[in-house]
Structure 1
Amino acid sequence: MRRTRLGAGSRHDAGRAPGGLLRLLGPAFVAAIAYVDPGNVAANLSAGAGYGYLLVWVLVLANAMAVIVQYLSAKLGIVTGQSLPEALGERLPRTGRLLYWAQAELVAIATDLAEVIGGALALHILFGVPLLLGGIIVGAVSLAILAVQRTGQLGFERVILALLAVITVGFVAGLFVSPLDWGGIASGMIPRFEGTATVLLAASMLGATVMPHAIYLHSSLARDRHGSSTDPRRVSELLRATRWDVGLALLLAGGVNIAMLLLAAASLPGVAGTDTIEGAAAAISAHLGPAIGVIFGIGLLASGLASTSVGAYAGAEIMQGLLHVRIPLLLRRLITLLPALVVLGLGLDPTWSLVVSQVVLSFGIPFALIPLISLTSRRGVMGGFANRTALRVVAIVVAALIVALNALLLVLTAVGAA
C-alpha cells in the first residue's frame, strides 16, 4: 500500500527542480553513522593489530554490500511510503510480529552495547571518567541529540553530519603518520582466513559494517525526508539522488573503516595491549604522538554519541512499525541503555564485549536483509520500480555471502579449527 508521508525535510525539497541534487542528500549520511560506530573501531583495530592487512578484503566487500543494502532500504521508503518495519508489520500475523520484534530488539540492544561502551571508553581515555559514569553520560547526551530530531529531520541531520566530520578526522588523522606497506595492502585484498579467530573477526567486521538497525532505519529516513509520490518522474529523481547519497556516504564510511585497520596494521602490530580499544589508544599516543591519541579519543567519543543516538532512533522506528506502539523517548532509551550499563558495571572486558556485539549484529542481518530484498523485488509492492533482474541477483548473492560467512563461523567454532 502506498501512502504519502512528508517529513520536515521533504516539504522543503518537494518543490525543488530536478537539478537540485545536493539538496536531496543527507539521509544516507545519517544511516552511515552505523558504519563508523565504536563496534567498527573494536573490530578493525583488533583485526589490524592482530593480523596486519589480512582482512582488508572483508571491509572492501562489506562496504560494497552495504551500498546495495542501503539503497534498497531507502528505495522501499521512497516508493511505498513505508519503512521496512511498517511493511513487515502490515504483512505478519500478530505472533510473527512479536517474534520478529524480539530478534530486532536483541539487535538493538547489541547495537547500543557497542555504542555506549565506545563512548564510555572515549570519556575514560580523554578525561579518566569511570566507565559506568561514562556510559550514563553518553546515554544522557544521546537524549539531547535525539531531542533535536523533534524539531525536524534536517536539524537532526546537521548535528549527525557535524559529528560524522569529527569522526572522520579522529579516525583518519593517524594514517598520515603511519608507515603503510602498500604490498601488504594489495595482499590483503585477496580473500582468505587464517583459522577460527580470523573468521570470528571477519563476522564481527561484517556485523559492524552492514548493520541491521541501519537497514531498518534508512527506509524511514528517506521516506520522512523526501516523502513518497505517485509521480514516476519525481520518484525517479529521488532514487537517482538516493544512489548518489548512498554512494558518497558509504564511500566516506568505508574509507574511515579501512583507515582504522590500516592504522593498526601499520603502527600497532605486536604492540602489547592493542587487543583493547583503551590499549590501542595508549599505543597510538605512544607510537604516533599524544596529539594523534587525543584526536583519536575525540573521534571515538563523537562516534559513540552519534551512533547511540541513531541507534535509539532506529529502535523507536522498529518498535512502532512492528508493534504498532510508540513509547516515550526516555523509556525507549533506557530499554537498550541498561544492558550496556550492566556490562560496564560488572567490569567485563569492554573491547571484547564490543566485538561479540558485532557478531550478534552479523547474525541479525539476514532477518532484515532477506525481507528487504523480497519486498523491493515485488511488483505488487513497488510497481514499476521493483528490482530489475540484475539488481535482484546481486542482492541475493549479497545475502547468501552474509549467511555463508555466519555458517562458516558456526562450523569452525564448533569443530575448534585452528
Structure 2
Amino acid sequence: MRKGKGISLGPATLVAAAFIGPGTVVTASLAGANFGYALLWALVFSVLATIILQEMAARLGVVTQQGLGEAIRRQVQNPLLRWGAVALIIGAVIIGNSVYQGGNLTGASMGIAGVLGEQAAWLPLVLGILAAALLWRGSYVLLERVLIALVLLMSMTFVATFLLVQPDWGAFFEGLLIPSLPTGSVLTVIALIGTTVVPYNLFLHAASSAKKWQQPEQLSEARSDLWVSIPLGGLISVAIVSTAAAAFFGKALTIEGAADLSESLRPLAGDWATWLMALGLFAAGLSSSITAPLASAYALSGILGRGGDLKGLPFRLTWMGIIAIGVIIASLQIKPVTVIWFAQVANGLLLPIMALFLVWACNHSMMGRYRNSWRQNLLAMLVVLVAVGLGVRSIGAALQLW
C-alpha cells in the first residue's frame, strides 16, 4: 500500500500497531505524570533501538523469504539449542501474549466505555470476535490496511489531545534532547524501553515482510516503511507522555491508568480531549488485539515448520486460542499473577537471545551481499547489550512479583 512517492507503508506499521497497546498507554501516562517531560529521551532511544532490530528482521524476511521462526528452525542445527528456542518462544510469545491479550481487550473496552459512560461486561467478547473475524479472513492485505488505519487514528487522536492541553514547549524539547534520570525514574525508563523493544515484533516483522516483498531489490521499500512507521509509533508515545505531563505533573494529582488520564483532561481541554483519549485507547487496544495473536501464530508456525499460511489450521488454532484466553481474562477481570511472572521471565530471556540470533543470521552466508556491515553490527551489539540489561531487570522484577 503506497502513500506518496517512494514510501510504502506496511509491515513496520504492524510493528507500530503492536507496541502501541494499552500497556504502553499506561506506562507512558505514568511516566509523564510522575516525571513530567524528563524521560522523553528514553523514547527517542527506544525508537532508534527498534529501528535497528526491526531493520534486520525485515531484511532477513525479504532476502531469505523466511520468518524468524523458520530461520531458527532451518539454521540452528544443534537439537538442544533448537528445542530450547522452541520452549522460549512458546513461553514468551505464545503464553505471554495470551495473558497480554486480556490487557489489550480490556484497554479497547475502556476506550469504548469512555464514550458510552459505562463499562459493559460484553465489550471484551465483542472486540475479541471483531479481531477474530479480521484474522479469519486470512488476508494479509486486509490486516495491513486495518492496522495502518488504526495507527493513523492513534496518531491523530493522541497528537490532537497533546496539542489541546498546551504543553510547556521548553520543557518538552529539553526532555526530548537532554537525557536525565530524576530520582526514582530508572524503572520507568526501563519500562518505556521495554514496551517499545519487544521480541514478538521481530517474528511479526520478518514474516510479514517476506509476504509483502519477494525480491531483495525491494529492501528500499521495506526501509522507507520502517523509517516512517516506527517514528510514527514513537510520536504517539511522546504525545501520551507529554499529555500526562501537562495534566498531572506538579499538580498533586495521582494517576493509576489511562482512564484516569482521560477523565482528568476535561478541566484542561474540555470534552473533546476525553473523547479523543477514549478513541485513541480503543484504537491502541484493538490494534494490539490483532497483532499479538498474529505475531504468536507466525512465531509458532515458523519454529514448528508449519509455514505462515494465514488460512492454515495450525495458524488459525494459535491465534484463536490466544484471543479466547484474552476474552476470558478481560471479561472476568482475572489477574493471573503466576502466568504473568512466567511470561516476564520468558520475555526477559527471549529478547536478548532473539537479538543475538538476528545479528548472527544477518551475518550468515544465506544473506549474501545483504549481510550486516560493521557499522550495523556495532549498532546491533549495542542494542543487544541494552536488551540483556532489560532482560535481567525484567527477570528481577518478576522474581520480586513472585
TM-score tier by shorter-chain length is: 0.7 to 0.9
Give the C-alpha shift of residue 341 in structure 1.
Answer: 4.0
Q: If the length of structure 1 is used for normalisation, what is the TM-score?
A: 0.82
Alignment correspondent of 2:368: 383
**For 1:243, what is the secondary structure of its paired residue?**
helix
Aligned residue number for residue 296 of structure 1: 277
Matched, 1:251 2:240: no
Q: Which amino acid aligns with 2:66?
A: Q
Contact 1:110 1:358 in 2 (8 A): no
1:158 to 145, 169, 181: 145
Residue number among 25, 34, 45 corresponding to 1:50 in the alignment: 34
Name the residue aligned to 1:367. Answer: 353
Identity rate, percent: 25
Map 1:134-283; keep pairs closer than 5 Å: 134-148=123-137, 150-151=138-139, 153-188=140-175, 189-195=177-183, 198-227=185-214, 229=215, 235=216, 237-269=217-249, 270=251, 272-283=253-264
8 Å Cα contact 2:33/2:254 also seen in 1: no
Q: Distance in 2 between matches of 1:362 and 1:262?
A: 28
1:301: how far off? 0.8
Aligned equivalents of 1:59, 1:214: Cα separation in 2: 17
Q: Structure 1 residues 411, 38: closer, same or farther in 2, change over 3 A?
A: closer
Seen in structure 2, the aligned counterparts of structure 1 residues 320 and 25 have a Cα distance that, compared at 3 Å, is: same
CA distance in 1, matches of 2:196, 2:305: 29
- What does residue range 123-138 of structure 1 map to in structure 2 within 5 Å? 123-128=112-117, 130=119, 132-138=121-127
Other structure's SS at 1:209 match: coil
Residue type of the alignment partner of 1:202: V
Alpha-carbon offset, residue 21 of structure 1? 3.0
Structure 1 CA distance for aligned equivalents of residues 343 and 115 of structure 2: 24
Alpha-carbon distance in 1 for matches of 2:122, 2:180: 41
Contact 1:121 1:131 in 2 (8 A): no
Q: Over residues 294-315 of structure 1, what are the superposed CA-to-partner deviations in whole Å (9 max), with x where a residue is unaligned?
A: 1111111122112211221111
Indicate whether 1:394 and 2:379 are aligned: yes
For normalisation by structure 2, the TM-score amounts to 0.85
Aligned amino acid, residue 147 of structure 1: W
Amino acid at match of 1:397: L
Kindly state the Cα deviation for residue 80 of structure 1 after the two structures are TM-superposed: 0.6
Note the aligned Cα RMSD (angstroms): 3.2
Alignment size in residue pairs: 386
Question: For the structure 1 residues 68 and 174, does the alpha-carbon distance in structure 2 shift closer, same or farther, using more than 3 Å as the test?
Answer: same
Report how far residue 106 of structure 1 moved. Answer: 3.2
Query: 1:97/1:363 Cα in 2 relative to 1: closer, same or farther (>3 Å)?
Result: closer
Mapped contact 2:348–2:392 kept (Cα < 8 A): no
Query: Which of 299, 315, 325 is residue 296 of structure 2 equivalent to?
Result: 315
Q: Distance in 1 between matches of 2:325 and 2:42?
A: 29
Matching of residue 106 in structure 1 with residue 95 in structure 2: yes
Matched residue SS, 2:179: coil
Displacement after TM superposition at 1:220 (Å): 0.9
Shift, 1:72, TM fit: 0.7
CA distance in 2 between counterparts of 1:117 and 1:372 reads 33
Whole-angstrom distance in 1 between the partners of 2:241 and 2:182: 17
Residues 21-78 of structure 1: per-residue CA shift (max 9 Å, x gap): 34x4422112221232222111100100111112111111000111111111110011
Deviations 1:343-400 (A, max 9, x none): 43554689xx99x98897566422322211211122x221111101110110110111
**Following TM superposition, by how much is the alpha carbon of 1:126 offset from its aligned partner in structure 2, in angstroms?**
2.0
1:66 equivalent in alignment to 2:30: no
Kept in 2: contact 1:373–1:395 (CA 8 A): yes
